[in-house]
Structure 1
Amino acid sequence: MSPQSRSIARYSISFLLTFGFLYLAFRGVKLTELWESLKGANYWWIAPLIPLNILMNWVRAVRWAHLLAPIKSPISKRSLFSGVMIGYAINNILPRVGEIVRPYIIGNREGISRTSVFGTIVVERILDFMSFYFIVCVVLFVYPHSLDPFVGQSDAVRPLFLAGSLACLAIFILLFFKAEELFRFLAKVLRFVPERQKVKAEKMLDKFYSGFAVAKLRDKFSVILFQSFLIWALNALIMFVPFFAFEPLVKSGMDFAGASVVLLVISSFAWILPAPGAMGTYHSFLKVAMVGLYGIDETTALSYAIVTHEVGYIVVMVIGVYYYFRDRLRVSDLTTASSKAKE
């Protein structure tokens, strides 16, 4: 299969996922009742989601500056913020492509190696994944039945998640504190790989290692880790505030603090699926969780999902598109970035 055919197949699957999960989200919900629910929401409680989403992405940019410090320092936070917003805006249309475009934008703008920048994005994902697994374990410990609507009896799943999180923690510590030793060991292993594959593997290894240079700045570890959890805390706050916008939720007697963290975990699983901007997957997962865990009616649950998702989606798109045109990027830049990543 040609690269073009693979891309078409990949994006076709992504859009099918979106339409399939949108169908599941809206199934059983009357549009007239949904509209009344959305009209009846108190948008004074929804308005704070705009600055919260902007702040969360600004913290991402600040953390990225710390990760890039061994490669270039100082580096403009505004430049990194624009890269973050453009990347996420592209992800909202073409899943995963934004992660390829970000190194291209920042590498060209700041005059640094794109492969090194890509390595820092790999570290970003490890940080996000590790902190996420930690939160999952806390949620399963405090709210052991939080995944019941999806996996049945979650007591059987908890040990698997705990083992997985511990394994991820070990890998993260190894990558962050023993990056040089680990990559040196992998370089030795490559001696036994056939020459053709060896060249490709060495290029990939160099790409990742350059991004792990931040491991040499161990004094920054606590700051970077704090920023990673701050991002999740802001995410939880984005889930928490809109509860007050819907009267049925206020009257439900839900533990808003606990529910915001539980729904954050569940919605994060929706973002893992390759649907553009988690469109459909997010709405479906949240609706099932709110109905199954808290007994919320489907219309209110879907209204809450629509509000929390669409505000964040629109904020990212508006700011991302603004920076896209301000920086005079072109569609050809995106295709160039994709082709460079495949080299």
Structure 2
Amino acid sequence: MKKKLSKTIQIVLPLALGVFLIWYTYTKFTPEQLKQLKENFLKADYLYIWISMIFGMLSHFSRAYRWNYLLEPLGHRARVPNSFMAVSIGYLLNFAIPRSGEVSRAVVINKYDKVPFEKAFGTIVAERIADLFISVCILFLALFLQFDTLWGLLNTHNINAGKLLIIGAAGILFASLFWIYLRRTRSALGQKIKNFVKGLKEGMLSILSMKKKWLFIAHTLFIWIMYVLMFHICIYAFPETQSITFSQSLSLFVVGSFTIAFTNGGFGTYPFLIAEAILLYGIDYTVGTSFGWIVWLSQTAVIVFLGVISFLFLPVYNKNN
């Protein structure tokens, strides 16, 4: 009962927050502003939006292809169509429960290509470590280029350095206590966790033993270049946002990435925070809101389309397995 309640809260709470932010945002608009929002959507140049969606699809394919570079040192290989569909389904499931997509990827590849779950999941963690490194580099680059703007946005929402330090310290403390528990426990549950962690470790260390390191690095860079470009190209969809520089666009990309990472795919929060951030660059709030919604909806459309198609086609492709 408690487990079901916990899962329900994980799904409902972020969605409820998104719905609240949508309601809160639009209650602040006057009828004239709502009319302006509609006009912004109608006048947008959707050619750039389509290009953005193509960039998103390319990043999906590159991520699927990159996965095999981590599986090969472990003596396993996944068929690229299965990898692509597993990645697409994972992105889709993240909308229901954040970070559940990583688990579903390992489940799919275990079922159809017989890759042990814990090793598959370990390689996914290794992927995330590589992605985290690139995202941190982008974050520091954005901070270097647009520090005043990003710090001003944090202060606007009462997020200061003290709170960030407390969160970081709490995370380190929890990780340390969990590590001590694993080292000392002799319980059956503890042994299962140890074996699982061992499999994760093998998967993560595969990044050091792979033969095609440079191809893995090239795909990693390509994935993140596509992420940045799929956001930046949308700048040209509105006349009012075309004055935004690449460094400013990079800072907006970082803001949007945080909402996607910590919520159900940025539902409700993405357009809200993008509009807040873009306001700091002198762009009208209604334009910023329209921009945020179009970027989020186009990215979501790619995820939903590929995810649903993958759900339907995966059993067909593997009908003999």
TM-score between the two structures when normalised by the length of structure 2: 0.84
Check if 1:259 corresponds to 2:262. Answer: no
SS of residue in 2 equivalent to 1:94: coil
Matched, 1:282 2:270: yes
Aligned to 2:55: 52
Q: Is the 8 A contact 1:116 1:211 kept in 2?
A: yes
Q: Secondary structure at the match of 2:97?
A: coil
Instruction: Confirm whether residue 309 of structure 1 aligns to residue 266 of structure 2.
Output: no
Aligned length: 299
- Tell me: CA distance 1:75–1:218, structure 2 relative to 1, closer, same or farther (3 Å): closer
Higher mean C-alpha deviation, range 92-101 or range 118-127: 92-101
Q: Which runs of 5 or more residues in structure 1 are unaligned?
A: 169-185, 330-343
Residue by residue, what CA displacement relative to the aligned partner does 1:94-143 show, whole Å, maximum 9, x if unpaired?
33222221111111111121111111111122122221111111111122
- Per the TM alignment, residue 224 of structure 1 is displaced from its structure 2 partner at its CA by 2.4
CA RMSD of superposed structures (Å): 2.7
Does structure 1 conserve the Cα–Cα contact (< 8 Å) formed by 2:235 and 2:244? no
Contact kept in structure 2, 1:25 and 1:283, CA below 8 Å = no
Residue of 210, 222, 225 corresponding to 1:233: 225
Aligned to 1:270: 259
CA–CA separation in structure 1 for the residues paired with 2:208 and 2:40: 53
What amino acid sits opposite 2:288 in the alignment?
A
What is the alpha-carbon distance in structure 2 between the residues aligned to residue 63 and residue 126 of structure 1?
14
In the alignment, what sits opposite 2:91? 88
CA contact (8 A) 1:66 1:224 kept: yes
Q: In 1, Cα distance between the equivalents of 2:78 and 2:103?
A: 20
- AA aligned to 1:108 is K
Q: Deviations over 1:13-48 (max 9, x none)?
A: 121221123234434333322111100111122221
Secondary structure (helix, strand or coil) at the match of 1:278 reads coil
Match of 2:305 in 1: 318
CA shift for structure 1 position 279? 0.8
Instruction: Write the distance in 2 (CA, Å) between the matches of 1:74 and 1:197.
Output: 30
Structure 1 pair 193–93 and aligned structure 2 pair: CA distance change class (3 A): closer
Q: Shift of the alpha carbon at 1:267?
A: 0.7
Task: State the partner residue of 2:192.
Answer: 200
Instruction: Map 1:157-176 to 2 at 5 A.
Output: none
**What is the alpha-carbon distance in structure 2 between the residues aligned to residue 75 and residue 194 of structure 1?**
35
Q: Please identify, of 25-34 and 262-271, the stretch whose mean Cα deviation from structure 2 is larger.
A: 25-34
Contact 1:24 1:284 (C-alpha < 8 Å) held by counterparts:
no
